[in-house]
Structure 1
Amino acid sequence: MPLRLLHYSDVENAPDDPARVGRLAAAIDARRDGALVVGTGDNTGPGVLPLVTEGRHALRLYDAISPDVATFGNHDFDFGLEATREILENSPQTWVSANVRRNGDAFAADAGVTPWTIRERAGVRVGFTGVTDPDTAATNPMANGLRFSEPIPAVRKAIGKLRERDVDRVVVCSHLGRGDDDLARAVDADVILGGHVPTARVDRVAGTLLTRPGDGGRAVVEVSLEGRSTATVRSTVEREPDPAVAATFADLASETGLSETLATVSRPMERTEATLFGGESRVGNFVADAYRWKTGADVALQNSGGVRSGEPLAGAVTAADVVGLVPFDEPVAVVEVSGAELAAILSGAAGLDVGFAEPDWWHAQVSGAVLEWDTENHGVSVRSVGGEPVDPGDTYRLATSDFLVETDAEFPGLDADDRLGTTAVPQYEVLTEYARAEGVETSLEGRVRRVN
């Protein structure tokens, strides 16, 4: 049998669904047979269990799937550097990172993180290195204190070290998202195992095989390193869950204290990637409505990528279900802006340069406003706020995640200097309060109107 890799990534909230994480473990176990198991980031969060355990639930996953090599994603720092270090020190895999640094040195080298490593199977020497999106410094405030050096020079240097050691294949574990294409053109790698973007991919750029399993533990990519490397996406959806793994995560879930039923939904509310990034969505309306309800703002904005994909909300909706929509420990902020500034902010809804996203995705879930989306020219116009045309000179209050106010990775028109204040509770508590008071079920109302 040729040397193979089993590539998983962006497990994120799969452990919140014991059957889903059980299927992932079963899929890896069924295909292992001498393969190297490799993770490419965001496998400790976000999600409800990640929030409650500060990512340490991932150690149960790693014990179940016995990964060989892994690199960091942006969400692997969500709970602070000490929590990340604890996970590193207690997990079975070798962590590789060519570009994450702290205080001038490689991050957590004393905990076993290394710029590159070599594995051998059946006489074939495979070199691995890893790289993380440098925007993590801007998008994840819990990564404060880390520096993310430029990916291409960092990876090129690590590959040089591997080639000096006569490896037969070089594999880059990447959490760059769309940056994988530029990386493939610039470095001497045989395979780039990617992550960060929640869509599966098998492609070839400049002779390098690029793969990505998508998010939520719904697929594993099987890579053959024989000859001209090839890859196949293996769905986990129809597989029977590993009963021991499913039971482990069911027990963890029961310890969260979030089983209270908050509301009932009669018509399932989808939260797929296609739904969240395709325009107005019912779950997006719920989140944005909650922000506006809590703050009394004129308009509310939730970035589509901040709402986690998963199973539909249907029937009895628990606190865990609601928290799982936006499982981040950030407050809701209110900014005061002019009508002209509001239009500039919301123009980011059709942003083309968000590294984790596809170019044609929609990024804004809104309340209190009607937006028009020119899908051909990627333009956004604000048609109304509160049912009235927007006056460029008037003042409006906008409620949104404090994260979006602090970062320029999405909606760069937001300015922290315009912030009036923040809620005393994090986003997910705003959602649970609103669900208890007003329910969860929403309808599509034409808040985002497509043209062209």
Structure 2
Amino acid sequence: MGMAYRFYLLLLVVFSAGVVAGPTISILHTNDLHQSLAPLPALAGYAKAYKAEHPATVFIDAGDWFDRGSALCRVTRGEAIYGAMATMGYDMWIVGNHDWAYGGARLGELMERYPVPVLGANLGCTDHPLPTNVLPYLIKELAGLRVGFFGITIDSYGQNPKGRPYIHVLEARESTRRAIAELQAQRADLIVAVTHLGFERMKHEATRACPSDVDLAREFPDIDVIVGAHSHTALAEARVREIHAETGVIVVQAGASGRNMGRLTLEIDPETRRIVGFASELITGEQLQPSCPETAAFISEQYAAHMPNAKQVVAALAAPLERHNAGSWYAEFIRGSSAADLALLPVGAFDKEPKAFPQGEWTAEQLAGYFFDRYLVTMRVTGKDLLAYLQQPARVHRLNPLHDRGRPFSEDAIYCAGFAVHFDPTTKDIHIDLEPDREYTLVTPWLHSWRDLFNGDERGLPPRNRAAAADPLPGLAHANRHVLAKTSMQHVFDAAASKALDITRKYADIPAEWLAWKEFYEAERAK
């Protein structure tokens, strides 16, 4: 069944209730791609073929290009996906909360290099002007109508200009109000909000002040359509119609990771120039074709230049690797590869979101996506000083591999190698197996932040001199601090080149003392 015929059948079903056919406008939309490179050529091919048949179409992305997904994107500090998206025919997009992953300076640099219009009604700047393609709103002539678009990203993060000196976020509601007023003054027939707010608040955001898409629809009835993101919601048409019946606003979202292309078709009354019908659909699977050669070629060039061994199989797991086992293995690997006595591995050195990593074969790209590349720093410490450091009340519970701070994605455990830590469920004492009078060589990764990435190297790391100046464990008395010549992933791939990595599951079951320790900690925190 051809694309044009499927489109005709869809409109026939939706608009068969006696409405006089008028012009139609289509919105193709994606969101929360999160560095998923593999689907991009098919998404681009579908969009370009559809737009060729239906000129009154816009192609939009609603943000969160970065974080998770392909490690190639992290190695290229975002360029692999941003540049690929620039070949896909998008008419506009907005930033999501994860799109500061490589820093505001890098975000602005990519915007200037690939000048696709960025809708930024609530983006601001202080010392550095916003790129010229960041626009508060955009009006496009579609099917004889003036359609106004504006972008709003979640304001729960990054409103402080000092924390984000290049690009920061302004309050969402006031920015929405201002954008609507400006579009109305420009005589827009329809108003489309492209948002990164979430369809509804997620559980861990229940108390946030920033509106969701449903809130926005209720509070701003002058909006005709909301193209959303952030909550990774694949909205079926039935739910879209429920919200439309309640609010008068059409709210759509296409899921995440490029699994779907959202397609919204609007039927317009030629006299009133208003929407009189719509069809919302998620395009997926075999429907997403043909592949776009330009997008595929760009991605291939990025792999060739920055990660030529990406598809090499480097490890195989007989069973899923739980997060605590991943941390235990990685800490021991770093200790052994650096010939240190001890290792401290904060959970931020690897992907802390999944509860377990998949069984089966792992490619180099997958491995680099799970275990992040960091500079490794060694130092000489005494057992006495390390005990004093680890026994601090704010730090000692982090030695429990199940530790978290009580919020999703905030796990804050510190994994160790070369020594053991025990919790006594009876006395509630925590024993750290270190000799106070002994001197140790300790290795730890430097968990750089985006602020350290200015003029970073091709592996997505900060310049080495920043690592040399940094103190990865502030507050720990030490001597002879030294940045190793090889980074953590260089050690991993060197080991993989000589033989397949032996990524072991140290713990078949979670030790009972960890569970008792976690229960004790959470009870104390709740007091």
Tell me the TM-score normalised to structure 1 length.
Answer: 0.69
Of 232, 242, 251, 2:291 maps to 242
Partner of 2:142: 121
Secondary structure, counterpart of 2:257 in structure 1? coil
Partner of 2:315: 264
Does 2:177 match 1:156? yes
For structure 2, list consecutive stretches of 5 or more residues without a partner in the other structure: 1-22, 202-210, 268-275, 336-341, 379-385, 435-443, 452-472, 520-527
Distance change (3 Å), C-alpha of 1:30 and 1:442: farther
Distance change (3 Å), C-alpha of 1:93 and 1:80: same
In 1: Cα distance, 2:423 partner to 2:169 partner: 45
Distance change (3 Å), C-alpha of 1:429 and 1:152: farther
User: Shift of the alpha carbon at 1:298?
Assistant: 7.5
* Greater C-alpha Rg: 2
**Letter of the aligned partner of 1:254 in structure 2?**
A
Partner of 2:108: 85
In 2: Cα distance, 1:330 partner to 1:140 partner: 29
Distance change (3 Å), C-alpha of 1:393 and 1:387: closer
**Letter of the aligned partner of 2:225 in structure 1?**
V
Partner of 1:4: 26
Of 200, 207, 212, 1:180 maps to 212
Distance change (3 Å), C-alpha of 1:94 and 1:130: same
Distance change (3 Å), C-alpha of 1:93 and 1:432: same
**Letter of the aligned partner of 2:60 in structure 1?**
V
For structure 1, list consecutive stretches of 5 or more residues without a partner in the other structure: 270-280, 355-361, 370-384, 407-415
User: Shift of the alpha carbon at 1:327?
Assistant: 5.4
Contact 2:35/2:81, CA 8 A, preserved across alignment = no
Distance change (3 Å), C-alpha of 1:89 and 1:332: same
In 1: Cα distance, 2:279 partner to 2:351 partner: 30
Alignment of 1:377-388 (within 5 A): 386=421, 388=423
Of 26, 37, 58, 2:45 maps to 26
Per-residue CA shift, 1:393-432, capped at 9, x if unaligned?
64779x899479x9xxxxxxxxx97788999589x95356
In 2: Cα distance, 1:433 partner to 1:105 partner: 38
Of 290, 295, 310, 2:330 maps to 290
**Letter of the aligned partner of 2:488 in structure 1?**
V
User: Shift of the alpha carbon at 1:282?
Assistant: 3.6
CA RMSD of aligned residues (A): 4.8
Secondary structure, counterpart of 2:370 in structure 1? coil
User: Shift of the alpha carbon at 1:388?
Assistant: 3.7
Secondary structure, counterpart of 2:134 in structure 1? coil
Partner of 1:323: 368
Contact 2:128/2:166, CA 8 A, preserved across alignment = no
In 2: Cα distance, 1:247 partner to 1:69 partner: 22
Secondary structure, counterpart of 2:79 in structure 1? coil
In 2: Cα distance, 1:60 partner to 1:309 partner: 31
Alignment of 1:199-214 (within 5 A): 199-202=233-236, 203-204=239-240, 205=243, 207=247, 208-214=249-255
Secondary structure, counterpart of 1:200 in structure 2? coil
User: Shift of the alpha carbon at 1:249?
Assistant: 1.5
Per-residue CA shift, 1:170-189, capped at 9, x if unaligned?
22111223342433333232
Partner of 2:225: 191
User: Shift of the alpha carbon at 1:446?
Assistant: 4.1
Contact 1:302/1:400, CA 8 A, preserved across alignment = no
User: Shift of the alpha carbon at 1:85?
Assistant: 2.8
User: Shift of the alpha carbon at 1:253?
Assistant: 0.7
Tell me the TM-score normalised to structure 2 length.
Answer: 0.61
User: Shift of the alpha carbon at 1:265?
Assistant: 0.4
Per-residue CA shift, 1:256-283, capped at 9, x if unaligned?
14517573205475xxxxxxxxxxx546
By percentage of residues, which structure has more strand? 1
**Letter of the aligned partner of 1:163 in structure 2?**
Q
**Letter of the aligned partner of 1:286 in structure 2?**
A
Partner of 2:280: 231
Distance change (3 Å), C-alpha of 1:241 and 1:122: closer
Partner of 2:503: 440
Distance change (3 Å), C-alpha of 1:199 and 1:401: farther
Name the count of aligned residue pairs.
401
In 1: Cα distance, 2:507 partner to 2:233 partner: 25
Partner of 1:61: 84
